[in-house]
Structure 1
Amino acid sequence: MFERFTQGARDVVSGAVGYADRGGEPRITEEHLLMALLDARGTKASTALASLGVTRWRERLTGALDDARRRGGLSQADTEALAGLGIDLDEVVGRIEEEHGPGALAERRAQVRAVRRPLTPGAKETLRIALRTAAAHRDRHLGDEHLLLALVERGGVAADALAACGVSYEAVERVLHGGEPGDGLLSAV
């Protein structure tokens, strides 16, 4: 599969591995993919993110990802579902942190460097969606723009963080491809 990745997409995956390493996490998550996308420069995804104003919201995005990690990786949809059952997640997290310390729900990992880090099911699904997106646009290679589209399409914590900055699938698609595939504002990038 990785032979179809552009250099930009490979850099995102490598960057995600770096984020997992620095966090002492044994698996690569979609949040790691998002952080690596934010680091990209001179690619279609980085240009789309800049055009949507995301680069000025980097701190907000990282804060949203940290908050989700603090909540045990639960997305906004998960939080709302629990609220519908009468469970206040902030209260639960607060009580757990009182008893066990700050960040108690965040997965704690030994600082072990793995030679090969597996992907979480969410990160695997993101790659599957990215491949499907590339095929739908009749692109021969999978670029970082397909990874960005997959992250916002899939939902979950990374999509929630992007949505908090006003980034939706439709907005990314519009910036990348305009009204029709090939019509995009970024076709020359």
Structure 2
Amino acid sequence: MFERFTASARDVVRGAPAYAARPGPGTVGEGELLLALLDGNGSPGAEALGALGVRERRASVEDALRQARRRGGLTNSDAEALAGLGIDVAEIVSRVEREHGPGAFDTASRQPARRGRSLRGPFGPEAKAVLERSLRVALGRGDKHIGDEHLLLAMVAKPGLAASVLAEHGVTHADVVQALDRQKQAGAR
């Protein structure tokens, strides 16, 4: 499947491990793929995020991902939903961190150490699902390649960390589709 990836999609996959929670055994998930996609320049997915104003709010996106990681993957909307049930996630996280240390819920920091280095990095199940879904997205759009735009669409196609964080920043699946369609129409002129 990797042979179908465009250069920009490969850049996202290769760049994502740099954003893992910590060097070494940190696991790559949707958040790391999203941050690597934001690093792109001139590619369809990166340009769509730019057109939707996500680049200007990168610090806020990074903070939302960091906070979700600290809460064991729970996004702000998850925490708000639990608050509606009377569960104070911030208090639970604080108590657990007092007892077990900072980052106790951070699943990426608890991965077992790996021997040797992998060029593609230690991809977790959620990142692998995005990569697999990107193939289905590309095929569904009639494309013979997998570009970073397909990775972005795969991230927002189903509920997950990247989709939730982008939604918190006002970006939905429909917004991404429209931004990509506008690019395609502009390129056809």
Asked if Structure 1 and Structure 2 have the same fold, meaning a TM-score greater than 0.5 normalized by the shorter chain, the answer is: yes
CA distance 1:105–1:186, change in 2 (3 Å): farther
1:1-189 correspondence to structure 2 within 5 Å? 1-20=1-20, 23-76=23-76, 78-79=78-79, 82-83=82-83, 86-107=86-107, 108-109=109-110, 114-116=116-118, 117-178=121-182, 184-185=184-185, 187=187
The answer to whether the 8 Å contact 2:30/2:155 transfers is yes
Aligned residue type for 1:147: L
Deviations 1:144-189 (A, max 9, x none): 00101111112222111111211111001001014xxxx834545x
| Maintained 8 Å contact 2:64/2:75 | no
Instruction: Tell me the CA shift for residue 76 of structure 1.
Output: 4.7
TM superposition score normalised by structure 2: 0.85
Query: Aligned partner of 2:129: which letter?
Result: E
Equivalent residue letter for 1:73: G
Q: Unaligned 5+ residue runs, structure 2?
A: none
3-state secondary structure, aligned to 2:150 = helix
Contact 1:45-1:145 at 8 Å conserved across structures = yes
Q: Deviations over 1:106-155 (max 9, x none)?
A: 23357867422342111111112211111111001000001011111122
Distance 2:113 2:13 in 1: 20
Amino acid at match of 2:175: A
Are residues 114 and 32 of structure 1, via their aligned partners in 2, closer, same or farther at CA, if it must alter by over 3 Å?
Answer: farther
Cα 1:104–1:137 shift into 2, 3 Å? same
Change (3 A) 1:121 1:166: same
Normalised TM-score (structure 1): 0.85
Percentage identity across paired residues of the two chains: 49
Identify unmatched segments of 5+ residues in structure 1: none
Count of residue pairs the alignment pairs up:
184
